[in-house]
Amino acid sequence: MDEQPGLSDEYRKASPWPVFVAFGLAIFEVGIVMALFPVAVGGLLLFVGSVVGILRESGYVADPWKGLVTASVICLAVGGAVALTTTNAVRLRGIAVLVGGLLVLLAGVFGSFWEPAAA
Partner 1 sequence: MVEAGQIALTVVMGVFLLAVAAFLTRFEDWRSYAPIASGGGYVGEQTGQAHQEKPSGISRWLTTVDHKDIGILYGLYGLTAFAWGGIAVLLMRTELATPTEAIIGANFYNALLTTHGITMLFLFGTPIIAAFGNYFIPLLIGADDMAFPRINAIAFWLLPPAAILIWIGFPLAATDIGIAPAETSWTMYTPLSVEQANPGVDLMLLGLHLSGVSATMGAINFIATIFTERGDEVGWERLDIFSWTMLTQSGLILFSFPLLGSALVMLLLDRNFGTMFFAVEGGGPMLWQHLFWFFGHPEVYILVLPPMGLVSLILPRFAGRKLFGFKFVVYSTLAIGVLSFGVWAHHMFSTGMDPRIRASFMAVSLAIAVPSAVKTFNWITTMWNGRLRLTAPMLFCIGFVQNFIIGGVTGVFLASVPVDLVLHDTYYVVGHFHFIVMGAIAVAGFAGIYYWFPLFTGRMYQKTLAKVHFWTTMIGSNLTFFAMLFLGYGGMPRRYATYLPQFTDWHLVATVGAFIMAFGQLVFVWNLVTSWLEGPRVGSGDPWDLEDDGLKTKEWTWFERKRETAIATDGGEPNEQDVRTDGGEPSGEETGSRSGRRSEEE
Give residues in contact with partner 1 (CB under 8 A): 1-23, 25-27, 29-30, 33-34, 36-39, 41-42, 45-46, 53-54, 56-58, 90, 115-116, 118-119
Shortest distance, position 74 Cβ to partner 1, whole Å: 19
Shortest distance, position 16 Cβ to partner 1, whole Å: 4
**Positive or negative CA dihedral for 78, 84, 89, 90?**
negative
Which one, 21 or 71, has the nearer CB to partner 1? 21
Shortest distance, position 110 Cβ to partner 1, whole Å: 13
Rg (CA), the chain: 17
Which one, 55 or 73, has the nearer CB to partner 1? 55
Per DSSP, the three-state class of 48 is: helix
Separation CA 86–CA 56 (nearest Å): 35
Which one, 30 or 77, has the nearer CB to partner 1? 30
Separation CA 117–CA 73 (nearest Å): 23
Smallest CA-to-CA distance from 111 within 52, 58, 60 is with 52
Shortest distance, position 36 Cβ to partner 1, whole Å: 6
